Structure 1
Amino acid sequence: MALTLPAPGYAAERLTLKLGPFQQSIQVADLETYARTGKVPSALQLYAPFLTSEFRKALTNRLELDPKISTQVVEELLRSTAGKRVLDSIRAAAPDLSLETLQAGFWLAARQLNGLDAIGVLKAIPQETITVDVTQAVGIASQLNFSYWKSQAISSLLEKNLLASSSAFRAPFDPAAPGSEFVQQQQFVFEDSARNRRLPIDLYWSSTTQAPLVVITPGFEANRKFLAYLARHLASHGFTVAAIEHPLIAQNGSIVSFDPERLISAEEFVERPKDVSFLLDELAKLNQSAGLRGKLNTQHVTVVGHSLGGYGALALAGAELRLDELREFCRTSGVFQRVPADWLQCAATQLPDRRLSLRDQRVKQAIALNPAIGQIFGKSGLQQVATPTLILTSTEDALAPAFSQQLQPFLQLPTPKYLITSIGATHLSVSDPVHFSIARAKGTLTKERQGQAVEPLRQLLQGVSLAFVAQGTPNASLYQPFLTSSYAQSLSTPALPLRLNTELPSNLTRWLSLVTLF
């Protein structure tokens, strides 16, 4: 995106505010004073009913930028779907602004201030007076969620910076292809009477299974079929897989609430990981039965979790809940600063603890797919993870955006760790195309990318998951080549670039660390 900048010396100084038949001219400095102090200047008294604390937070919500990549970030931000939507909304509220003038305001603010916030952009717009429809402007504030914008802004940066310069990938076999084992499947239901929990599971195994156990834990509102294709794939290569289904309990004890602060009961953040630990206890007993004797290695377990299940996988691997930090975030942040994953995590603030560990020593590896973990482990809880980890992030995930929910948390994790980055995939892209309802995906607040369009991602997940789980077997070195950038890029397509890395490049790491401070 090439921006033609205006001659220096022009910047917005006055706003003409329209509210129905009323029209008033104010200084931009008056709005800046309100944003900085929370006090409503006399010039803004007419609009006081609109100047809520949430609106003020939207004005001051800031995206910090590293000067070395700020130009690239802003260009990608304005090119993204979310960026274009906000630009269109701003122009609806301020119709006398041309698209080029508005874009120039964003670019100049980023260059001059090393960051973006509403006031900074407003002051940088190269036009002396701007006419604004107040009611439309208040509506725009709800779109100024920079957490999602941050993920949108760095999509192409991730695509370019995580690209490995290597020759064509060659391997003696394809880990994404079905294995040679005949897969058997059976449903069990385990009852934990002490906790009043009923846990259906699907168990997949083969006749020669002697390998570590894999447990799959789904996300919020998903069932045990969510990753059925992955379960069958691993079982066809000789692993026993138990896909669990958790009870769906809201805060009031009934099925899901539609109140964003009561999506799930606080206790579920403890009970779901405990469901897995209870399941391992029961499978250890089942391991002594005639039909499954020796096939359930509950002392060497890999937990695979998606979304809320990804949180559970990392908690079982040793990540420590930092509930004091979570409470502070949920107390001080507003609706415009939170993404859906934040609302989900804020439900855990009702737990009585300050810090909490749910570590299960039997869990030796963790795979977290699109995990919702931006706040619940605080700034250092993930440093307590005691196992190798594999994280999947998707750049178009609006429910658990990459920036805050996976990329920043990834920096905390100790090695060995792996990051799969799927450029253009969404929150539910890894779901089973047969068993997970497309209609359910359409019922979410965002457009999901599923089906054939994301088949390369599912293939990569099958191959990398197999290689990752196999690191706990004597065949570890045989599968190591499939935990490389070259393998991921061999499945990449122009429509769905795929990356696999063990660390982030320094320029992205620096920016991610910088933004964490604000």
Structure 2
Amino acid sequence: MLLLGALTANILLAFPLGAAEQISFSYGGLMTSVEIESLTKFAETGEVNKDLQFYFNFIAQDQQKELREVLTKEVELDPVMISRFFNTKMGEEILARLGEVINIPYKNNGKYAIRAALVQAAMEPGGLSSIKVLQKLPTSIQINGEKALALAKQVDMFILATETAVQELATLTAEEAAEAPAVNYAELPDLRQPGPYGVEKVVWHLVDPSRDRHFYVDVFIPKGEPQGKISVLAFSHGLSSRPEDYAVGLQHLASYGYLVVAPQHVGSDNIYLQEMLEGYHGDIFDVNDYINRPKDISFTLDELQRRNQSEFAGRLDLENVGMAGHSFGGYTALAIAGAEIDFDNLQKDCDSDLANLDVALLMQCRALELPRQTISLRDERVKAVFAANPVNRSLFGSKGLAKINIPVVFGSGSYDPAAPPALEQAASFTWLTVPDKYWLLIEGQAHVNFTKLDPGISKAIDSTAHLVLPNQDTIYDYVMGTTVAFFEVYIRQDPQGADKYRPYLSSAYAEYLSGQNEFKLYLVSGKSAPKIRQKIDEFLARYGGFSQD
């Protein structure tokens, strides 16, 4: 409690004692205001004072009801966690951008006032709510109408861009499926079911002395596989997660005869996040993990090379490795595949308004802290990559992604707020120059597996956004069915097997998997990339708003 008091005191030092009395709205030379007391009375009782009635003359009754719900909706969040997050570089950037719209007197950026109000409101019984935040503002605020309207238009544009991307993938999936030879998938092996081999999981604890890097690796070893080479897959977990969070999918791949390795990335895992919340780090992740993550993968493959003879009788095929990764791990997979950071492109995007909507861009902008030199992290042993919800667009740009010369799958989710497909994967897919490329999108997938979230975070998300999401088993079915097919075609080094599994890597198979599900799977190949590029150009020509070059 003493620590919390000290943190709150530091936040409030820059402000006069007391509380905000009103919110002003400016647009051009016009200025109007509303008393916070009036908003409080409306939120608590539904009564509308005169100053508030002026605004209500312009909105419908159902919108008034919705406003009251927004004002009173409570979310229980740890005030210390809020304070520490908004003191990180990403958190401060979010506040600074919000503070351009919400000003304090004399048109100063309102970021510190917002942070103070958020922390204090979270300390209230019942948790944080919009009306509590307004009540805790240490000074009156002014809403910049021009910037607020511009942000609202950006949000509308983002929603429209996402809807357009999903609809285009639905159309192209149907077109590719109609052109494909007829296949009765009901008579073929079901790749959603576990493969024929048992799986043993072991944990290795590795030390890379060249980086003083200590990390563990979850290793999934197939048991009872036939004689011959054992194919190898590597996996990179997402930001603030861990290899164990992906165990179901990794075990599934191992059951098809793959040895799967999933290293911990110590500068960007859940332990690092927890340490940040406890005050041991100043940011959510170590920026050097842009370099260290791919090196963790390469070091793990080196370790397999060292153990190959003694533990696997020399049977590991380490010249044809497959790789998958999720989110930050998607970046890792693309970097291992040869993509290089384009600092000029990244700087351009970081200086734009894109970060108002794309949380992933705020994360990518931290890479500007790295030395601005060519960074190649390609591992030639890796011959195909599956990048799920990858953070990538601004980091690599068209130049960086053009460096990839191996097969690639992009995976997306239509509800993904952290790496939205319209901003993070659409243009990137068209920039890939390799002919063997695929883009799959799962309707309703929201970046993370909600069953793996901390219960408190899940409750907070559910209380603020009542999303109807697909069953996690449905998402697993979509991902497992396609990843097995992809690696069987491009990693197994069995021409007959590749021909056997290629029909699964198609739009027709996506339609089969979707069946009667409410949430569909869409999958297109590289031959649809020109039409996607055309749709992007048409959207920009008509609406503008998002640079995709």
Provide the TM-score with structure 2 as the length reference. 0.65
1:407 aligns with 2:426: yes
- The counterpart of 1:395, out of the listed 410, 414, 418, is 414
- The counterpart of 2:502, out of the listed 463, 470, 480, is 480
Structure 1 CA distance, aligned partners of 2:455 and 2:305? Answer: 36
Structure 2 CA distance, aligned partners of 1:457 and 1:215? Answer: 21
1:328 aligns with 2:348: yes
Contact 1:261-1:346 within 8 A present in 2 as well = no
1:205 aligns with 2:167: no
**Cα distance, 1:150 vs structure 2:** 2.0
Number of equivalences: 401
Name 2:166's counterpart in structure 1.
155
Name 2:262's counterpart in structure 1.
243
Residues 81-480 of structure 1 correspond to what in structure 2 (within 5 A)? 96=58, 135=143, 137=145, 144-145=154-155, 146-147=157-158, 149-164=160-175, 165-166=177-178, 169-170=184-185, 171-207=187-223, 208=225, 210-248=229-267, 255-256=275-276, 262-290=283-311, 292-333=312-353, 336=356, 338-413=357-432, 414-429=434-449, 453-471=471-489, 472=491, 473-474=493-494, 475-480=497-502
Contact 1:266-1:349 within 8 A present in 2 as well = no
Quickly say closer, same or farther: Cα 1:221–1:517, change in 2 above 3 A.
closer
**Cα distance, 1:457 vs structure 2:** 2.4
Structure 2 CA distance, aligned partners of 1:400 and 1:448? Answer: 20
Deviations, residues 352-408 of structure 1 (Å, cap 9, x unaligned): 124322111111110000001121002321111121011101111011100111111
Structure 1 CA distance, aligned partners of 2:293 and 2:388? Answer: 16
Contact 2:331-2:392 within 8 A present in 1 as well = yes
- The counterpart of 1:512, out of the listed 536, 539, 549, is 536
Deviations, residues 441-485 of structure 1 (Å, cap 9, x unaligned): 556698597986142221121121111111222111111111011
Gaps of 5+ in 2: 1-20, 33-52, 62-140, 541-545
Deviations, residues 423-445 of structure 1 (Å, cap 9, x unaligned): 2221114x7x5x66565555669
Which structure carries more helix by proportion? 2
Quickly say closer, same or farther: Cα 1:267–1:455, change in 2 above 3 A.
same
Secondary structure of 1:96's match? coil
Quickly say closer, same or farther: Cα 1:351–1:173, change in 2 above 3 A.
same
Contact 2:199-2:220 within 8 A present in 1 as well = yes
Structure 2 CA distance, aligned partners of 1:276 and 1:397? Answer: 26
Quickly say closer, same or farther: Cα 1:308–1:92, change in 2 above 3 A.
farther
Partner amino acid, structure 1, of 2:306: K
Structure 2 CA distance, aligned partners of 1:452 and 1:330? Answer: 33
Structure 2 CA distance, aligned partners of 1:220 and 1:298? Answer: 27
Query: Percent same amino acid at aligned positions?
Result: 25
Deviations, residues 56-81 of structure 1 (Å, cap 9, x unaligned): xxxxxxxxxxxxxxxxxxxxxxxxxx
Which moved further from structure 2: 308-317 or 356-365?
356-365
Gaps of 5+ in 1: 1-18, 32-42, 48-90, 100-132
Quickly say closer, same or farther: Cα 1:203–1:330, change in 2 above 3 A.
same
Name 1:491's counterpart in structure 2.
513
Structure 2 CA distance, aligned partners of 1:194 and 1:134? Answer: 53
Name 1:126's counterpart in structure 2.
none
Structure 2 CA distance, aligned partners of 1:304 and 1:236? Answer: 16
Quickly say closer, same or farther: Cα 1:349–1:94, change in 2 above 3 A.
farther
Quickly say closer, same or farther: Cα 1:95–1:283, change in 2 above 3 A.
farther
Contact 1:147-1:339 within 8 A present in 2 as well = no
Partner amino acid, structure 2, of 1:263: I
Contact 1:206-1:236 within 8 A present in 2 as well = yes
Partner amino acid, structure 1, of 2:519: L
Quickly say closer, same or farther: Cα 1:449–1:233, change in 2 above 3 A.
farther
Secondary structure of 1:356's match? coil
Quickly say closer, same or farther: Cα 1:346–1:365, change in 2 above 3 A.
same
Deviations, residues 319-338 of structure 1 (Å, cap 9, x unaligned): 111122212321344752x4
Contact 2:445-2:470 within 8 A present in 1 as well = no
Provide the TM-score with structure 1 as the length reference. 0.69
Partner amino acid, structure 2, of 1:498: L
**Cα distance, 1:134 vs structure 2:** 6.9
- Measured on the aligned residues, the alpha-carbon RMSD in Å equals 3.6
Name 1:74's counterpart in structure 2.
none
Partner amino acid, structure 2, of 1:422: I
Structure 2 CA distance, aligned partners of 1:173 and 1:397? Answer: 31
Secondary structure of 2:383's match? strand
Name 1:79's counterpart in structure 2.
none
Name 1:501's counterpart in structure 2.
524
Structure 2 CA distance, aligned partners of 1:237 and 1:175? Answer: 9
Contact 1:175-1:462 within 8 A present in 2 as well = yes
Structure 2 CA distance, aligned partners of 1:389 and 1:316? Answer: 12
Structure 2 CA distance, aligned partners of 1:261 and 1:347? Answer: 13
Secondary structure of 2:416's match? coil
Name 1:124's counterpart in structure 2.
none
Quickly say closer, same or farther: Cα 1:457–1:269, change in 2 above 3 A.
same
Structure 1 CA distance, aligned partners of 2:525 and 2:506? Answer: 8
Partner amino acid, structure 2, of 1:365: A
Quickly say closer, same or farther: Cα 1:147–1:286, change in 2 above 3 A.
farther
Contact 1:426-1:448 within 8 A present in 2 as well = no
Contact 2:364-2:395 within 8 A present in 1 as well = yes
Secondary structure of 2:503's match? helix
Contact 1:185-1:204 within 8 A present in 2 as well = yes
Name 1:113's counterpart in structure 2.
none
Which moved further from structure 2: 420-429 or 266-275?
420-429
Partner amino acid, structure 2, of 1:195: R
